[in-house]
Amino acid sequence: MILKVKKNHPDAIVPSYAHHGDAGMDMRTPEEVTVAPGEVSKIKTGIALEIPDGHVALCWDKSSIGMNHSIKTIGGVIDASYRGEVVVGVINLGKEPYTFKKGEKLAQILIQKVERPEVEEVAELSETSRGEGGFGSTGK
């Protein structure tokens, strides 16, 4: 598979894997951006992708930023038909402002196959041992 990447900003950095065997490619920001506590921000990456048909790019947290600075990605589905700039939504759940420096890792994207099932409306669903048991139904 080939993932075509177009730079829309002169300082954009093409997504890349940090290590052999990584699932996600690192996405970086071409500009410095500060996210205040409680703020939702749309951070530009300066790139556009040509995701192969039948696939999707899923945008996920960088674990170090999430765990150490309480930055969480939001949104995160990039469809194969989208050709615009990839913008990463983040929220700062921490108590301090967080600054992404120019070129800093922002998030990671995973390219995955997409199943497109036929949807069939039915009157009843099949029985399972779990049934309708939801949150907390299996105990602590």
Averaged pLDDT in 10-residue chunks for the chain of 140 residues: 96 96 96 97 97 97 94 95 97 97 96 96 92 75
Beta bridge partners, 100, equal: 33
Question: What's the CA gap between 64 and 107, in Å, rounded?
Answer: 10
Question: What's the CA gap between 103 and 118, in Å, rounded?
Answer: 42
Q: Which domains are seen in the chain, by residue range?
A: 24-113 (2.70.40.10)
Q: pTM for the whole thing?
A: 0.85
Phi, psi of 108 (to 5 degrees): -135, 150
User: Which has the closest alpha carbon to 34: 90, 108, 86?
Assistant: 90
pLDDT for position 57: 97
Cβ neighbour number for residue 81 with a 10 Å cutoff: 7
Cβ neighbour number for residue 65 with a 10 Å cutoff: 19
pLDDT for position 39: 98
Contact 31, 106 (CB under 8 A): no
Give ∠ CA 75-79-82 in degrees, rounded to 5.
105
pLDDT for position 132: 81
pLDDT for position 32: 97
